[in-house]
């Protein structure tokens, strides 16, 4: 009687264990499904809002290039066209389109249908036809952000009933269209959401990351090589290793404060420059590069080093001809991930002044600049509704760049990794 009862107790215990294991697996699966669902919802919402940043609304107008407006003194100089009040030409065209509008208040509402950025297109057309005065040309001009929101989303919050009527009339005549927004990719930042773009912040990110890698990669790899291959194992080197691991977990804003006190206050380097941003981010990613390089060097079997030494190679030859080439995939992976982290950082750059409004595209490491994450921060803080889509569109592009860098790191790891 004892044996059967003990067996039944064992079976019952095993069944309970199996049920617990199934529940544990189910909890893990539910957690994974929940996390993926939240990720999909987040990405879909961002893409849905950001897709509008890639489109814009334009209005078709017949512009008469009146010489009395463009060159009242008849100088024939192109410089006169550059400073002419070309916006008046668009206003005259709108007034001809709606001749019943006579009151000053109504005229101001009518003129508000087009963006101030349309002046550039009219100016370029006037310069192209400066030898043919008083000619009439047909142009597609940028509408205001309120008209753009009304045409593409049906938002009427910033348009009067009269303005909505005018827009509807133009739509019925086929004189309003939605097209690809090239300004978003070719312009720098602007106070006007219809012409604000990411080119300035994109170039700022490239220059900042370039300066960061130019400083951090040689120093990080050299430090890792020394600590792993040449440094004696004692308490001092152990202390250095512990501090490097601790620095990798320090909040990024601390490095921003350090960059502010060292590079701006002590060395007097130019504020908002990519060089200062690169130096600050170099301190941030340096521990990551050192740790990744050391792990890559550790993964190389010691037998390869011993075999090279047995054949008469010096320590430097062992390092340069054998250890480093074999550890290169791991080093490249750590470097690419460090670039991704530097590209997505915001807090350190805010501390060194790269949050300023920059309307020009930077061309050197010393020009005032901002970066994509900081541009997102600036646009998200802008109360004008036209910047909502710009913010989401910039987030979509930044996420795309980060995904590409992570895919590149995985591809490098898969392509060049050696299985020992």
Residue-wise pLDDT for 283-308, tens only, equals 999 999 999 999 999 989 989 999 99
Alpha carbon distance 418, 109 (integer Å):
68
Mean pLDDT, range 248-274, rounded to an integer: 90
Q: Are 189 and 138 in contact (CB under 8 A)?
A: no
* CB proximity list for 90: less than 8 A, separation 6 or greater: 61, 63, 111, 114, 118, 119, 122, 141
Q: How many residues does the chain have?
A: 420
Q: Best-predicted range by mean pLDDT among 2-6, 71-75, 346-350?
A: 346-350
> Percentage of the chain surpassing pLDDT 70?
98
Alpha carbon distance 263, 271 (integer Å):
9
How many CB atoms lie under 10 A from the CB of residue 59?
27
Backbone φ and ψ for 17, nearest 5 degrees, come out as -65, -45
25 — pLDDT class (breaks 50, 70, 90) = very high
Q: Where in the chain is the domain with CATH 1.10.3720.10?
A: 199-416
Mark out the alpha helices in 299-385 (DSSP H runs): 302-310, 315-318, 324-343, 347-351, 372-380
Q: Provide the greatest CA pair distance for the chain.
A: 120
Backbone φ and ψ for 95, nearest 5 degrees, come out as -65, -35
120 — pLDDT class (breaks 50, 70, 90) = confident
pLDDT for 360 beyond 90: no
Secondary structure class of 344 (helix, strand, coil): coil
Least Cα distance to 337 among 292, 397, 282 occurs for 292
Where is 35: in which H helix or E strand? helix 2-50
CATH class of 199-416: mainly alpha
pLDDT for 202 beyond 90: yes
Q: What is the pLDDT of residue 3?
A: 58
How many CB atoms lie under 10 A from the CB of residue 124?
13
Helix, strand, coil % (nearest 5) of the chain? 70, 5, 25
Q: Look up the pTM and report it.
A: 0.85
Alpha carbon distance 420, 406 (integer Å):
24
278 — pLDDT class (breaks 50, 70, 90) = very high
Q: Are 263 and 352 in contact (CB under 8 A)?
A: yes
Query: Would you give the distance in Å from CA 93 to the centre of its chain?
Result: 39
Alpha carbon distance 281, 276 (integer Å):
9
Alpha carbon distance 95, 360 (integer Å):
34
213 — pLDDT class (breaks 50, 70, 90) = very high
Tokens of 317: 């030859």
Secondary structure class of 31 (helix, strand, coil): helix
């Amino acid at each position: 009687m004892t044996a059967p009862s003990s067996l039944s107790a064992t079976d019952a215990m095993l069944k309970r264990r199996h049920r617990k294991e199934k529940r544990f697996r189910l909890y893990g699966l539910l957690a994974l499904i929940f996390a993926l669902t939240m990720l999909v919802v987040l990405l879909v919402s961002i893409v849905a809002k950001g897709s509008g940043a890639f489109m814009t609304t334009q209005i078709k107008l017949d512009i008469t290039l009146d010489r009395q407006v463009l060159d009242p003194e008849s100088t024939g100089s192109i410089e006169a066209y550059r400073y002419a009040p070309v916006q008046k030409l668009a206003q005259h065209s709108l007034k001809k389109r709606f001749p019943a509008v006579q009151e000053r208040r109504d005229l101001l509402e009518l003129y508000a249908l087009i963006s101030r950025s349309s002046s550039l297109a009219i100016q370029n057309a006037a310069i192209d036809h400066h030898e043919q005065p008083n000619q009439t040309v047909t142009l597609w001009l940028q509408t205001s952000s309120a008209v753009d929101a009304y045409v593409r989303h049906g938002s009427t919050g910033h348009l009067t009933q009269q303005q909505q009527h005018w827009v509807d009339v133009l739509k019925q005549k086929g004189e309003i269209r939605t097209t690809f927004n090239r300004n978003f990719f070719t312009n720098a930042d602007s106070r006007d959401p219809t012409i604000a773009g990411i080119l300035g912040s994109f170039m700022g990110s490239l220059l900042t990351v370039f300066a960061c890698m130019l400083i951090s990669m040689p120093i990080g790899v050299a430090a890792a090589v020394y600590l792993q291959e040449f440094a004696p194992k004692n308490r001092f080197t152990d202390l250095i290793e512990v501090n490097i691991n601790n620095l990798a977990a320090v909040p990024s804003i601390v490095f921003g404060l350090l960059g502010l006190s060292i590079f701006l206050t002590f060395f007097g380097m130019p504020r908002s420059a990519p060089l200062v941003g690169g130096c600050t981010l170099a301190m941030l990613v340096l521990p990551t590069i050192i740790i990744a390089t050391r792990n890559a060097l550790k993964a190389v079997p010691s037998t390869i080093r011993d075999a090279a030494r047995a054949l008469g190679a010096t320590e430097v030859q062992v390092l340069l001809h054998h250890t480093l080439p074999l550890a290169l995939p791991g080093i490249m992976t750590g470097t690419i991930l460090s670039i991704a982290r530097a590209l997505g950082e915001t807090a350190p750059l805010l501390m060194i002044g790269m949050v300023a409004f920059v309307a020009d595209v930077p061309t050197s490491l010393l020009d005032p600049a901002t970066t994509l994450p900081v541009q997102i921060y600036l646009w998200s803080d802008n109360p004008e509704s036209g910047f909502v889509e710009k913010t989401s569109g910039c987030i979509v592009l930044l996420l795309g760049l980060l995904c590409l860098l992570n895919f590149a790191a995985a591809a490098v790891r898969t392509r060049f990794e050696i299985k020992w």
